Amino acid sequence: MGDDARARAEILSRLRDACDGDRSLFRGRPISAAKPEPPAAVTQAEGTGPELARAFGEKLAAISGSYEIVERRTEVAERVKASVLAWHAIDSGTHEEEGPSVIEVLSWAPGELPVPNLETSLGTAGIALVVPSDLSDIEARRRAASIQIGLTGTDAAFAATGSLAFASGVGKSRAASLLPLRHIALVPFSRIHPTFEAWVSTLRHSGQLVTFLEQARQLVFVTGPSKSADIELNLTLGVHGPRTVHAVLFDDSH
């Protein structure tokens, strides 16, 4: 009998002995889920604009995101400033007042953000919006990847799941919502829908569905921060996208 055959026979003999004995062949380990009880499925949400905003925010918070609701569009700039300055202080290890002269934020084009003159308002606090253009250029990609905070609007938000929809296009680079460590989404009440189906129905009945789909280069759905779990069921945030997703919800009816 050759060496390979003897080795094979020895391995098989050991396996037979182990299987015939009382000792477990493999080490036992209690099996547990990442969460003791999975969240209940939500398929519907109802209510007025403020009620849907609250439902959306609570759902987002339940999946590791965060939110705040403001009554007026004019308050949004101050809320964004506060978040950017606080996060920059945390990430850089400095006090807010000790930050550099300019804090860069990867952003949609100012005209695509749902708050007029936001770029000017942020500029007074030393916050500059960087709008990605040609990311096929390696230097442009490096600069975009180095920015820690992203700022976008949203095409739709769904109260039933806490999800956001982003249709990339001119001035609406998907990099702003996918590359940075932290992402701020500006969400007008008028863009919050009970469900995805309700949003599509609204587009269809208004005659905008075909145009929207033709103009959208890519449609991305984001439900909370990026999450990844290993074989041990340890959940980690921010592996493949933002670690923080913060929604600023506001009434845009006046």
pTM over 0.85: no
Backbone angles phi, psi at 176, to 5 degrees: -65, -25
Provide the domain count of the chain.
Answer: 1
Q: Given this model, what pLDDT does residue 29 score?
A: 44
Q: Quick one: which H or E segment has residue 214?
A: helix 209-215
**DSSP-derived 3-state class of residue 137:** coil
46 CA to centre of own chain: 24
CB 187 within 8 A of CB 249: yes
Residue 138 belongs to a domain with what CATH number?
3.40.50.10420
> In this predicted model, what pLDDT tens digit does every residue of 129-145 receive, in sequence order?
999 888 888 888 899 98
> Within a domain: residue 2?
no
> Within a domain: residue 108?
yes
Q: Given this model, what pLDDT does residue 235 score?
A: 67
84 CA to centre of own chain: 16
> Within a domain: residue 19?
no
> Within a domain: residue 28?
no
What range defines the domain where residue 110 resides? Answer: 45-250
Q: Given this model, what pLDDT does residue 203 score?
A: 93
Q: Given this model, what pLDDT does residue 6 score?
A: 81
* DSSP E strand boundaries for the chain: 66-70, 103-107, 127-130, 149-152, 156-158, 163-168, 182-188, 192-193, 218-223, 227-229, 235-237, 244-250
User: CA-to-CA distance for 209 and 215, rounded, in angstroms?
Assistant: 10
Q: Given this model, what pLDDT does residue 136 score?
A: 83
CB count within 10 Å of CB 30 equals 4
Query: Which segments of the chain have a pLDDT < 70?
Result: 1, 18-43, 94-100, 229-233, 235, 238
> In this predicted model, what pLDDT tens digit does every residue of 186-224 receive, in sequence order?
999 999 999 999 999 999 999 999 999 888 888 999 998
> Within a domain: residue 8?
no
